[in-house]
Amino acid sequence: MKKLPIGIQTFSEIRQENHVYVDKTGIALRLIEGGKYYFLSRPRRFGKSLFVSTLQALFEGRKELFTGLAAENNWDWNKQYPVINISFAGVARTVADMKQDIENILSRNQKRLGITCERTDDIGGCFRELIEKLFEQYGKKVVILVDEYDKLILDNLDQTEIALQAREILRDLYTTIKGADEFIKFAFLTGVSKFAKVSVFSGLNNLKDITLDKRYGTICGYTQNDLETVFAAHLRGANMDKVQEWYNGYNFLGERVYNPFDILLFIDRGFEFSNYWFATGAPTFLIKLIQKHNYFIPKLHNLRVGSSLIDTFDIERLQLEPILFQAGYLTINGVQQTGAVTMYSLTFPNLETRYSFNDFILEYLTNQTSEKSEFQIAIYTALENADLQALQTTLTSLFASIPYNNYVNNTISSYEGYYASVIYAYLASLGLDITAEDVTSTGRIDLTVRLGDNLYHGVQG
C-alpha cells in the first residue's frame, strides 16, 4: 500500500518515494493548452503548492516522474523551459522583512538557474532582469509560478498600514510579469485570497481567473471518485457516509471536493473523526471582524451575497463574507441568475467547519472555557431526551455564567442578536441538523433543530 503524502507538497518527492498521488496532470495540460496567464484562489492546505510543484516538473521536462499519469503520453518532453518559482513561506511583519524575503526568493532562483542579476536594489528591476537573462541563456521563454502570492498581505491584515505597504511591494513584483510578456511562456499565480486586481496586480489585467470556473473546480482537492478509487484500500472499513458528512462539500462551481489534509489525517489517525483542517489555523482575525461589526452569527448558516461580495475584497474595506468564503469556512451552496445579477448562497461546507467554527466563536461570544463543554453536553442531552424544562434551565444558567465584562466588550446594548447568536453557536457547535431562516436586522431568527426523531422549532431573538 502506498504511503500517505502528509505534509509533502513537492511533486517529485511524492512520485519518487511512492506516495499516493491523485492525478491532476490532465488538468495541468488543459490549463497550458488553453491560455498563458492564470490566477487561482483556494483555501489553505488544499493542494495549491503541490499543483504548482507539478507544473514545475512538467515544464522542466522531468518525464520519469509522470509514468502512468495523464501527461505521460500527451506532453512534448523534448521541450524544457526555465522556471522561476516564487513561494512565500515565512511570516514577515515589517516592510524590511518583506523586501528581504523577496530578495532571498529571487536570489535562490538565480542560483538554481545559473543566473546573476546586477539590479539587486530594485525588486521589480531584478525580477525583470532575471526573466530576460533566462530567456537569453536558455533560448526558451520563461515559466513563472507564484505560490501564496498574497501571504505578505494576509499575515498583516491586523495592521492595515503594513498590509498596504505589502500590497505596494507585491504590485511592483507582479506587474513586472506583464511588462516582460515577450519573454514569458506561462504564468500561474495562486493564493488564498482574491484581492481586487487593481489593488495588487495593477497593470497585470490579463490574468485568467479560474477560481470559479467549473472546468477547474477539481483542480485542487479530492473528489468522491478519488476516495473510491485512489484511496479505496486506505479507506476500507471506514464509514464513508460519515466521511462525506464531515469532510466533503467544498464547491467551486464544479464537482464538490474534499479537503486533502482532512482525508490524509483521517486515514493516518485510524478513521478518527476530528477537525484536522480547522485546527491548523484558528480564524482569530475573522473573530476580530465579527466583533468589530457585531455580526449576527446565524446569518452564516445560509448567506445570500452578490458576486461583488464573493469575488474580491479590499484591505481598506474589509468585509467578512468574502474572507470567510475564500478562507474555506463557507462554500457555495447555490447560484441564482436574475437578469444581469448573480446571487450566491453560502453555507458551511461540512460538519467539521460548521461545528469547529461555531465552537471557536463561542469563546468570543461568551468568554467561557471550561464551562462551555458542560453546557454543550447539557443542551445535547436535553434535546435528545426532549426535556424542554432541562433545556430552559441550562440556557438560563448558560447566560448567567457569562462574565459581565463580556457583555460590555460585545457592546450588548447595541447588539440585539447577541442571545440568538449564542444559542445558534451552541447548537451548531454540537453538529446538529439546523435550519435557520428569516433572519432579520432585528436579530430574530426562525430556527429548526432536528435530533434523531425529535424536531424543535421556534423563534429566537
pLDDT over 90 percentage in the chain: 57
Does residue 159 belong to any structural domain of this protein? yes
Are residues 350 and 240 part of one domain? no
Are residues 30 and 150 part of one domain? yes
For residue 49, the domain's CATH number is: 3.40.50
What would the pLDDT profile of 306-354 be if each residue is shown by its tens digit? 876 666 777 777 788 888 998 999 999 999 988 888 899 999 999 999 9
Last residue of a domain, one of 258, 278, 298: 278
Are residues 119 and 93 part of one domain? yes
What is the average pLDDT value for the chain, to the nearest integer? 88
Does residue 2 belong to any structural domain of this protein? no
- Residue whose grid cell is 479560474: 210
The secondary structure of residue 2, as a DSSP letter, is P
Does residue 6 belong to any structural domain of this protein? no
Q: How many domains does the chain have?
A: 3
Last residue of a domain, one of 216, 233, 249: 216
Are residues 179 and 110 part of one domain? yes
Are residues 350 and 306 part of one domain? yes
Does residue 3 belong to any structural domain of this protein? no
Closest alpha carbon to 258 in 272, 277, 239, 273 = 277
What would the pLDDT profile of 46-85 be if each residue is shown by its tens digit? 999 999 999 999 999 999 999 999 999 999 999 999 999 9
Are residues 300 and 367 part of one domain? yes
Cα separation, 258 vs 212, in Å, equals 16
Are residues 143 and 39 part of one domain? yes
Last residue of a domain, one of 233, 255, 278: 278
Cα separation, 438 vs 302, in Å, equals 10
CB-based contact 283:327 (threshold 8 Å):
yes
Residue 167 domain boundaries: 11-216
What would the pLDDT profile of 197-227 be if each residue is shown by its tens digit? 556 776 677 889 999 999 999 999 999 999 9
Are residues 195 and 51 part of one domain? yes
Are residues 59 and 27 part of one domain? yes
Does residue 244 belong to any structural domain of this protein? yes
Are residues 268 and 176 part of one domain? no
Are residues 363 and 264 part of one domain? no
Are residues 155 and 73 part of one domain? yes
The secondary structure of residue 63, as a DSSP letter, is G
What band does 26 get if pLDDT is binned at 50, 70 and 90? Answer: very high
pLDDT at 412 > cutoff 90: no
- Give pTM, 2 decimals: 0.91
303-306 and 331-338 beta bridge pairing: unpaired
